[in-house]
Structure 1
Amino acid sequence: MNHELKFNILGLEKSIFNKDIENLEKQILDSIPKSLQHACLYWAEYYADVNVNDETSMNCLMEFLQEHLLHWLEALSILTATHRAGPLLRMAERSIQQLSSQISQTLNEGCRLVDLFYLPIGESCTGLYSTILTFSPKECCLAELYKKKYPHNIKIKEGGLRDWPKNLSILQGHQRSVTSIGFSPDGTKIVSGSYDNTVRLWDASTGQSLGQPLEGHQAGVTSVEFSPDGTKIVSGSGDNTVRLWGACTGQSLGQPLEGHQDWVSSVGFSPDGTKIVSGSSDNTVRLWD
């Protein structure tokens, strides 16, 4: 990637939204070889087994971060794969955090830049440069480094961000009050339940909705939880039922669990994930296989 990624890889004459690029698929075929596309989407997996003494790999990674990170984000934007940026950077950070504190810190800053500018990165492959370099926090060393490489961007004389914002993103989509939320065991997804009768899944690194709302309950969803292995979701509702969902597919698994005579107020999995427990306003607790 260090030899092939570059600024404005499509050779666009002006900065425009991705949706306005003519013949985008053909331009991708002409400008981004399949081998480079694959590298952009899977490079972090290589570092899962990297050795502390592999100085060449460490140097290549640092060169990538300091010279080509924005080029890589541009390529992901073109490939409609911006959602891969955060997970790949975090995968690499986990793999080398005990090997190089400097690289780990740089990867962490890259993650935070992606989280902060996820939407503009995905919308404009060339516009992302001015957005990131103009509005990144002053304490971001990585952004300050790239500002020297692209000195002609707009500069903010007063105001702007000094520190990283505490609120990374706002997850919007539910139509009524959100009643219950939870993280997947690996921390990559968020599940939420709402009085709009739906369950939603979110990407924890970007705040983007994953798929369509999980629909089936006939009243407000009062409680949600991931299974210990992260493959299933259980939900309880004001329709007196408990439902089980596939976390990857979003599909309802089996029929609703019926038996409660009033609102289901709380649900949970057993530690081994083989049983479900539910509590209800009918003053009972039920155990389900």
Structure 2
Amino acid sequence: SCFKIMHDLLHFDMGGLYPAQFKANIPPDICLKIVEEVQYACCFWGDHLRFLHGKGKQCSIDIQEKVLSFLKESFLYWLEVMSILACLPAALSALSATHALSTETEVTQLAWDYQLFLHQFSYPISQAYPHIYISALPLAPRHSLIWKQYIDQVPQTLTILSNADEYWPVQLCVITGHEYSFTSVALSPNGSQIVSGSFDNTICIWDAVTQQPMGEPLQGHEHSVTSVAFSPNGSQIVSGSRDKTIRIWDAVTQQPIGEPLQGHEHPVTSVALSPNGSQIVSGSSDNTIRIWDAVTQQPIGEPLQGHEHPVTSVAFSPN
């Protein structure tokens, strides 16, 4: 029903601003122009797709046909609404769900290309939806699917005569937020989250799709964070620091679990978790390696000695 509502009610220039008005002239009550049923359909169709996936179901042929029609006919109008409602992160999330759940090749190709479009132009679109047509679409690469699909449908837009990009850049986006340099990053097992450590002594968790921070920075280390890692099931984060300690965090509540693991005589340089998540291994500038019980948070045996200089990296074998 969400796709039917969007098919029936979405149209060009949902806010009545194109082409002249930009952020300074956006009426504060512009959201009132979007009726509630359209707001709901636009904001939550991606959640409904994910609900199907959570039930172990694939999208039916009928739903995939509706998704394909939506991507080919109404996508930019939907993007207008998501900009007006300040919901562009949810738009990226919905496209990610579409790309992941569909078995229709054309749907997955379009969804991925449209994600790249949003990654590239989310800032101007978030400022004022007319930028979708005034700057974003005209500047999209000539071989991008979104440019091919929509450029001829947009009136009064720019024409790039020379030096237009042909393909999307390799770099999707840049994540910023730490006060000082990043020192370490790790991706959650399901690819949905990124964790980062920094010289600012904090750890940040990011949504891998929207690149937005998830909650506040994790604070507790007294010196720079040198290494971060996710547990195999993604429920915990382990961090090592120049304060000579290792900390375990709940990835959902973002709270520390237990007390800091202490034992190294110099900064911790690297941490890793065993494949079953039961053990943590750490390397240090004190030239040693330590193995810890991830549950009791106690050291297992004596430090592993043999290196004559700082240990810079540690890892477990698959078994």
Alignment TM class, shorter chain as reference: 0.7 to 0.9
Aligned AA (1:23): P
What secondary structure sits across from 2:226 in the alignment?
strand
Query: Is 2:96–2:209's contact at 8 Å kept on the other side of the alignment?
Result: no
CA displacement at 1:142 relative to structure 2: 2.2
Which of 85, 88, 95 matches 2:101? 95
Query: Is 1:118–1:206's contact at 8 Å kept on the other side of the alignment?
Result: no
Q: Cα deviations across residues 18-46 of structure 1 (Å, max 9, x unaligned)?
A: x763333xx42x33233322222221334
Query: Is 1:264–1:278's contact at 8 Å kept on the other side of the alignment?
Result: yes
Query: Is 2:184–2:228's contact at 8 Å kept on the other side of the alignment?
Result: yes
Could you tell me which residue of structure 2 aligns to residue 71 of structure 1?
Answer: 77
What secondary structure sits across from 2:185 in the alignment?
strand
Q: Could you tell me how far apart the structure 1 residues matched to 2:121 and 2:166 are? A: 16
Could you tell me which residue of structure 2 aligns to residue 62 of structure 1?
Answer: 68
Q: Could you tell me how far apart the structure 2 residues matched to 1:157 and 1:223 are? A: 48
CA displacement at 1:286 relative to structure 2: 3.2
Q: Could you tell me how far apart the structure 2 residues matched to 1:231 and 1:123 are? A: 35
Could you tell me which residue of structure 2 aligns to residue 271 of structure 1?
Answer: 275
CA displacement at 1:153 relative to structure 2: 0.4
Residue 123 to residue 163, structure 1, CA distance change in 2 (3 Å):
same
Which of 76, 86, 92 matches 1:80? 86
Query: Is 1:234–1:242's contact at 8 Å kept on the other side of the alignment?
Result: yes
Query: Is 1:169–1:206's contact at 8 Å kept on the other side of the alignment?
Result: no
Aligned AA (2:175): L
Identity %: 36
Once the two structures are superposed, the pairs formed by residues 179-258 of structure 1 within 5 Å of their partners are 179-258=183-262
Once the two structures are superposed, the pairs formed by residues 138-157 of structure 1 within 5 Å of their partners are 138-157=142-161
Q: Could you tell me how far apart the structure 2 residues matched to 1:204 and 1:51 are? A: 23
Which of 126, 131, 134 matches 1:127? 131
Q: Cα deviations across residues 210-265 of structure 1 (Å, max 9, x unaligned)?
A: 33322221111110011222222111000011112232343333332223222111
Compare relative contact order (CA 8 Å, sep 6+) and give the higher one, 1 or 2: 1
CA displacement at 1:150 relative to structure 2: 0.4
Query: Is 2:279–2:291's contact at 8 Å kept on the other side of the alignment?
Result: no
Q: Cα deviations across residues 194-216 of structure 1 (Å, max 9, x unaligned)?
A: 22212122232343333332222
Could you tell me which residue of structure 2 aligns to residue 36 of structure 1?
Answer: 38
Unaligned runs of 5+ in 1: none
What secondary structure sits across from 1:215 in the alignment?
coil
Q: Could you tell me how far apart the structure 2 residues matched to 1:199 and 1:51 are? A: 37
Query: Is 1:115–1:205's contact at 8 Å kept on the other side of the alignment?
Result: no
Query: Is 2:195–2:203's contact at 8 Å kept on the other side of the alignment?
Result: yes
Matched, 1:174 2:181: no
TM-score, with length taken from structure 2: 0.80
Which of 8, 21, 24 matches 1:3? 8
Matched, 1:23 2:25: no
Q: Which moved more, 1:212-221 or 1:8-17?
A: 8-17
CA displacement at 1:50 relative to structure 2: 4.8
What secondary structure sits across from 2:11 in the alignment?
coil
Query: What number of residue pairs does the alignment pair up?
Result: 281
Unaligned runs of 5+ in 2: 1-5, 296-319
Q: Could you tell me how far apart the structure 2 residues matched to 1:57 and 1:268 are? A: 42
Query: Is 1:50–1:57's contact at 8 Å kept on the other side of the alignment?
Result: no
Q: Could you tell me how far apart the structure 1 residues matched to 2:135 and 2:256 are? A: 41
What secondary structure sits across from 1:22 in the alignment?
coil
TM-score, with length taken from structure 1: 0.87
Q: Could you tell me how far apart the structure 1 residues matched to 2:280 and 2:85 are? A: 41
Aligned AA (2:83): S
Q: Which moved more, 1:33-42 or 1:211-220?
A: 33-42
Q: Which has the larger radius of gyration?
A: 2
